[in-house]
Amino acid sequence: MTAIHPIRLRFSNAYLLVGDHRPVLIDTGSRGDARDIKAACTAVGVDLRDLTIILHTHVHSDHFGNTADLAAAAKCPVSYHPNECVLAEQGHNGRL
């Protein structure tokens, strides 16, 4: 069974999926939210290096802001819809 751990952030939420598989992180919040994500992982016994993948609902900055840093720390792949490649490569989506 998979447990879904919501991670409440400043402008959005992230989710940590933990179960009979390696953990999965969904979304990474806004820049500056990485500390809260790391703390939430630690609280349920997950080290970032345990993550199998970081998945994204979409790549707006309030959901994608810490992806590069967290993926580098976790040494895991990142996934988002291919139609969002241009926005992800720009690194910003303008004012929300």
Tell me the pLDDT of the chain (96 aa) as tens digits: 999 999 999 999 999 999 999 999 999 999 999 999 999 999 999 999 999 999 999 999 899 999 999 999 999 999 999 988 888 787 666 665
Q: Are strands 3-8 and 13-18 parallel, antiparallel or unpaired?
A: antiparallel
Q: Does domain 3-81 have CATH number 2.130.10.10?
A: no
The domains of the chain are located at: 3-81
Q: Residue 74 in 3-state DSSP?
A: helix
